[in-house]
Amino acid sequence: MKKLSIGIALVSVSVFVNAASFDCSKAKTVQEKLICSDLELNALDKEMGDVYTSTNKSFPIEGYIRNNQRNWLRDYRKCAEPTTEKKDDISKIQFCKEMLNQRISNLKELQTSKVYADYKEKQMIVDSTTLVVLDKKDGKYLQFFGGWMPDANMEPEKMKGYPFDGFICDDEVKLNKVGSIYKTEEYQDVTLQINDHTIVIDGSFSCGLRASIGNDTFNRR
């Protein structure tokens, strides 16, 4: 058997002679069977896995892309599930293709993004902050992730830590240039000064009961 790419391994899919890592005659899950039925869908799935691998390898902070991919996979696994809107195989295949095309585009944007953080460690730290500035076709966007805080209502011995409990900031917002600063529609009291070396945030992105990030300077990685 050929070695699974990371992206494909996470969802247990891959098909046909040029990309298969399992025998399609033994496909068991709904998604495996759906992908085994469509050559284009299989090719997109393999491309997504390849682009994920290269993005994960080149990203300056270890763990960020893996975490980002894991969150995306939660929805991707559902693209083959029957729903009232997508009840036949053709529409489910198209829905899966749309998700894959969008994810490939997102991963390529991450490859050319600018990354900032308030820590120097190589590995992502969830209770610190990672900021990613993306240039998309319709403008500049900011991904922010971090500020994880445990749920104070849980008994310490029962806590598993991130991502199982607690609160964290994990969002993407469009940046609007206002003079020399940037603002967002979602967080109108927050202003950002962005250059190639630093991001200075005045105000806080509040996320959940205890998690927030901001009022700090973040250095380029």
Decide if pLDDT at 7 tops 70.
Answer: no
Query: pLDDT at position 154, please?
Result: 82
Query: pLDDT at position 23, please?
Result: 62
- Residue range 200-205: average pLDDT? 96
Query: pLDDT at position 85, please?
Result: 55
Q: What does each C-alpha distance from 102 to 17, 105, 120, 161 come to in angstroms?
A: 25, 5, 31, 30
* Model confidence pLDDT, tens digit, residues 140-178: 999 999 999 888 888 888 888 888 888 999 999 999 999
DSSP letters along 119-185, please? ---SB--TTSEEEEEEEETTEEEEEEEEEEE--TTS-GGG---TTTSSEEEEEEEEEEEETTEEE-S
Decide if pLDDT at 45 tops 90.
Answer: no
* Model confidence pLDDT, tens digit, residues 48-82: 999 999 999 999 999 999 999 999 988 888 887 76
For the chain, give the percent of residues with pLDDT over 90: 57
pTM of the model: 0.82
86 vs 20, higher pLDDT? 86
Query: pLDDT at position 22, please?
Result: 47
Mean pLDDT, the chain, whole residue set: 85
- Residue range 117-136: average pLDDT? 97
